[in-house]
Amino acid sequence: MQVIPKNTISFLKELKLNNNRDWFNENKQEFNSIQTEVKKFADQVKDSLNLSDNIEKLKIFRIYRDLRFSKDKTPYKKNIGMAFHRSKPELRGGYYLEISADESFMAVGFWNPNKEDLLRIRKEIEIDGQEFTNVINQKKIKDVWGKIKGDEVKTSPKDFKGDHEYIDMIKKKQFIFIKKLKEKEILDANFQKELVNNFVSIRPFFDYMSEVLTTNLNGESII
């Protein structure tokens, strides 16, 4: 079972303090070695998820920052991120891991639903918010992930009543769960197994949301 290299986070902390091309080029061999091992780790996570899911794409994000529209001109990220995308349109939701010089975390859910999907989710909550809350409050989800999070609009969305019983959920623009990680957890020999188990625990929520987003309000398939 592949592990995260012991020097990964220490390298990222050094990069944070020396975020310039000269330092990075001098230490690029170390970064390339870390990146190779992290890729093996991510590939194994994908394979494990595929035992009970269908992951169509694994993306490991580049260390290089896009500086075109940023006031911060430091050239490198201080984290390594990876995302596991489920096969659309039948399966919805995604898995994410970020190993950082600052605060590492794993996350699952719906980061930026398009406007059609967001409206469909809100309509479902409007009609049957109890079922939605029953799903996200399942013990095996709450024990791992805690409460659902995500950015919200400041007022009730258009055509939704501000006094609706589930307006706090209807106002959300994201539907995500986040679990913070300590360095010792990430570097532990069993981290890959724990990560996969945590990802798998969210499946009841993904199954619910996949059904919502592949049907209309009458429950008829739209795919």
How far is Cα 4 from Cα 106, in angstroms, rounded to an integer?
14
Cα→Cα distances 122→132, 149, 167, 176, 194, Å: 10, 15, 9, 15, 32
CA distance to 64, 92, 213, per residue, from 142 (Å):
35, 20, 23
Select the more confidently predicted residue: 124 or 68. Answer: 124
Higher pLDDT: 40 or 223? It is 40
- Sheet-wide strand order for 79-86: 55-60, 79-86, 94-100, 104-110, 175-181
pLDDT exceeds cutoff 90 at 68: no
> What value, to the nearest 5°, has the Cα angle with vertex 75 and ends 95 and 186?
35
Tokens coding 205: 């929520």
Average pLDDT in the 66-76 region?
Answer: 89
Asked if the model's pLDDT at residue 71 lies above 90, the reply is no
- Read off the pLDDT of each residue in 117-138 and give the average, rounded to a whole number: 97
- Residues of the chain with pLDDT > 90, as a percent, come to 95
pLDDT of residue 143: 97
Q: To the nearest whole percent, how much of the chain has pLDDT over 70? A: 100
Buried b (16+ CB within 10 A) or exposed e, 142-165: eebbeebebeeeeeebeebeeebe
The CA distance from 29 to 109, in Å, is 35
C-beta atoms surrounding 64 within 10 Å: 10
> Model's pTM, two decimal places?
0.95
Question: Using CA atoms, how far apart are residues 68 and 196, in angstroms rounded to an integer?
Answer: 35
Q: Which domains does the chain have, with CATH numbers?
A: 8-212 (3.30.930)
The chain-wide mean pLDDT, for the chain, equals 97
Q: What does the CA dihedral 208, 212, 214, 218 come to, rounded to 10 degrees?
A: 130
pLDDT at residue 182 is higher than 90: yes
**CA dist., res. 65 & res. 80, Å (int):** 12
Tally of CB atoms within 10 A around 221: 9
pLDDT at 195 over 90: yes
Mean pLDDT of the region 195-199: 98
Please report which confidence band the pLDDT of residue 121 belongs to, taking 50, 70 and 90 as the band edges.
Answer: very high
Cβ atoms of 132 and 166 closer than 8 Å: yes
Using alpha carbons, list the distances in angstroms from residue 123 to 119, 126, 144, 158, 181: 6, 5, 27, 12, 34
* Nearest partner of 214 among 116, 141, 126, judged by Cα: 116
Structure tokens at 134: 């029953």
